[in-house]
Amino acid sequence: MKPRLLTDIKNQLLQLGLEVEPSEEADLEIHQTFMNKTFFGGNHHIYYDLLIGINSKDEKVYVIEKVSSKKSGISASVEVSSSIQSGRNVYRKVKTKAYGLDGIAYELKLNLGDILKTIKKIAKSQGYGFKFVLRKDKLVEAKYT
């Protein structure tokens, strides 16, 4: 059941335009950079990290999410700032560019809250629970079940 759930989650996240990879710490991971906006010749990048662990013993999907952003721009002065946001509900609309097999760049728009909603929906449809965790212990434990 775990391989099917991993495949379903991975395929749905790939359809959202995310780069999903196997993980050493968990079952799957995402490390994605989004361009939120450009202003006065500067940039606002959002870095999104997600670890997904599936525990087949207690039938739960565990996730850890981290969102950080870096802004840089020139107006009257130079501003460079960085902040970290983590929590259950990240509802931030972002966009990124992905290149298809044809070499053409496609702009992808995504609400970050949709990522966790998608994972939770798939887990529930296969009889698994969904839990947002703050430490990696549960993910490492889940990887080896």
Rounded mean pLDDT of 104-121? 78
- pLDDT tens digits, 58-79: 999 999 988 887 766 553 333 3
Closest-CA residue to 49 (of 70, 64, 71) = 64
- pLDDT tens digits, 18-37: 889 998 889 999 998 876 55
Domain hosting residue 113, numbered range:
2-143
Domain count across the chain: 1
Q: By the 8 A CB rule, do 109 and 90 touch?
A: no
* Burial class of residue 144, CB neighbours in 10 A (0-12, 13-18, 19+): exposed
- pLDDT tens digits, 79-104: 333 334 445 554 555 655 555 556 66
Closest-CA residue to 16 (of 140, 109, 86, 79) = 109
Q: Please tell me whether the overall predicted TM-score, pTM, comes out greater than 0.85 for this model.
A: no
